A and B are shown apart, each in its own frame.
Chain A
Amino acid sequence: MAIRERLSGNEAMAVAMRQINPDVVAAFPITPSTEIPQYFSQFVSNGEVDTEFVAVESEHSAMSACIGAAAAGARAMTATSANGLALMWEMLYIAASSRLPITMSCVNRALSGPINIHNDHSDSMGARDSGWIQLYSENNQEAYDNLLQALRIGEHEDVMLPVMVCQDGFITSHAVENIELLEDDKVKGFVGEYEPDHYMMNPKEPIGVGPLDLPAYYFEHKRQQAEAIKRSKKVIMDVAKEYEKLTGRSYGYFEEYKLNDAEIAIVIINSTAGTAKTVVDKLRDNGIKAGLLKIRVFRPFPAEEITAALKNVKAIAVMDKAESFSAVGGPLFTEIKAALYGVADGINIINYIYGLGGRDVRSDDIELVYNALLEIQKTGKTGETYRYVGVRE
């Protein structure tokens, strides 16, 4: 029987880490992810885990310590947010290119500046090209479930890549909600032991990790790394199926909410999907065919599957909780638009930047977006595609 609990998103991540009992956790406190290493260090002090907890002096060192530990053959985990993630930047790339399956809880927060501690997705969206697999979570339950699956995905021999599990800072990281936990032994059975083929602490096979890679080899390594993240798509689904057998909770690349016969739809990431679902229900009560697609896997980007799910929708609004300063729209918008191009042309598609720096996003705001889609559906005119909701004009 699963355990019914009430936990915040941060507590859920720390509990998952206790159940995983990783070899090494190296982390530095930063709002709003601080509680994860804080709770976890209590588990260490209480002797509830065997983990070597490294209290580093910066996030750059946190990721460096994880890289060193993973290269040595350890299962290494960390947690961070915003500027902490930014300080890890160069090491994120090194972790991924060295093919070290480190697992991170990324509690999404606006990346300074101006300095702000509240939620948006500018931190992890900025890290989208670092080679990490990115899983996003609507609530504490999804964050917990994603973290357990993340290990199996990243450590799979066809993948060997680091994975970050993202959730919304404060909104889900600090809000206490009901959650269903697995028993410790079931988690242990699911995640298993990390047994890499090659590791630096193996006296029978001395290896060198992270050597200089000049023009004769670097390109081949990048091509191989791209292949690994392509292959992760299958692994993500296989792991989800196995997890569903264990828990009854089903996961895919994304969640479709009343999308099957939808004529208007929004594409959204993380906690605001919850707010948007309420709006979808309300619109459906009024006979409006509204739907929603919530991204779970952003890296690798499931372009074909998203296109198949959206191809019959008449008008789409892609919601970005991050600016990319491309002057044409947010990061999710450009990806979705590129996915649809040449495959599902003729769909009217617009972009909304919303909720930056923790600006509250209410059901009214989401309703405004659906109303704009209804107008587009009626007139057939897209108008300005690069829009904002919730900003003072």
Chain B
Amino acid sequence: MRNRPSVKRMTPDISWKDITPGGTIYDAGNAEDFKTGDWRAMKPVWIVEKCTQCMLCPPVCPDTSIPVKDSKRLDYDYDHCKGCGVCVEICPFDAIDFVKEGE
């Protein structure tokens, strides 16, 4: 092993022999690989039949996890939703349920 990376990306099964020295990150733009939604404790659930597409919820999402297409919201991007519940609070129509993760 030398002081150069034998891999470009670190994965959770990488050995100490292959891991990048000092944790140096050699590939820019790798944030797309990082799923920030995996530490969510509470989960918003979109109730489509109650939703009026008022569009109050997408702009308040701090993680841009409510995708919008053709002026309509779509289902959550759970890879990045951290379950903060701001969308649940803003919804005037009780169209977003808020449940414990895994239930």
Interface residues of A (CB under 8 A from B): 97-100, 157-160, 197-198, 205-211, 213, 216-217, 219-221, 223-224, 227-228
**B21: shortest Cβ distance to chain A, in Å?**
5
Residues of B within 8 A of A197 (CB): 3-4
Q: A206-B28, A224-B17, A227-B16 are in contact. Are A158 and B3 (CB under 8 A)?
A: yes
B22 touches which one: A99, A157, A223 (CB < 8 A)? A99
Number of A-B residue pairs at CB separation under 8 A: 66
**B15: shortest Cβ distance to chain A, in Å?**
7
Q: Other CB < 8 Å A-B pairs besides A99-B21, A211-B24, A224-B1, 4 of them?
A: A159-B3, A209-B25, A217-B12, A228-B21
Residues of B within 8 A of A159 (CB): 3
Q: Is the CB of A157 within 8 A of B2?
A: yes
A-B contact pairs, 22 of them (CB 8 A): A97-B22, A98-B23, A98-B24, A99-B22, A99-B24, A157-B2, A157-B3, A160-B3, A197-B4, A198-B26, A207-B28, A208-B24, A209-B25, A210-B22, A211-B23, A213-B23, A217-B12, A217-B23, A220-B15, A220-B16, A221-B16, A228-B3
- Docked CA distance A197–B5 (Å): 10
**A63: shortest Cβ distance to chain B, in Å?**
16
Q: What mask results when residues 1 to 38 of chain B are scored 1 for a CB within 8 Å of chain A, else 0?
A: 11110000010101111010111111010000000000
**B33: shortest Cβ distance to chain A, in Å?**
13
Nearest neighbor of A156 in chain B, beta-carbon distance: B3
- Docked CA distance A100–B21 (Å): 10
Residue from the set B12, B17, B22 with the largest chain A CB neighbour count within 10 Å = B22
- Docked CA distance A228–B16 (Å): 11
**A379: shortest Cβ distance to chain B, in Å?**
49
Q: Is the CB of B25 within 8 A of A208?
A: yes
Q: Is the CB of B3 within 8 A of A99?
A: yes
- Docked CA distance A208–B10 (Å): 13
Residue from the set B3, B10, B25 with the largest chain A CB neighbour count within 10 Å = B3
Nearest neighbor of A208 in chain B, beta-carbon distance: B25
**B9: shortest Cβ distance to chain A, in Å?**
12
**A62: shortest Cβ distance to chain B, in Å?**
20
Residues of B within 8 A of A224 (CB): 1, 16-17, 19, 21
Q: Is the CB of B16 within 8 A of A198?
A: no
Residues of A within 8 A of B21 (CB): 99, 160, 221, 224, 228
**B22: shortest Cβ distance to chain A, in Å?**
4
B12 touches which one: A205, A207, A208, A216 (CB < 8 A)? A216
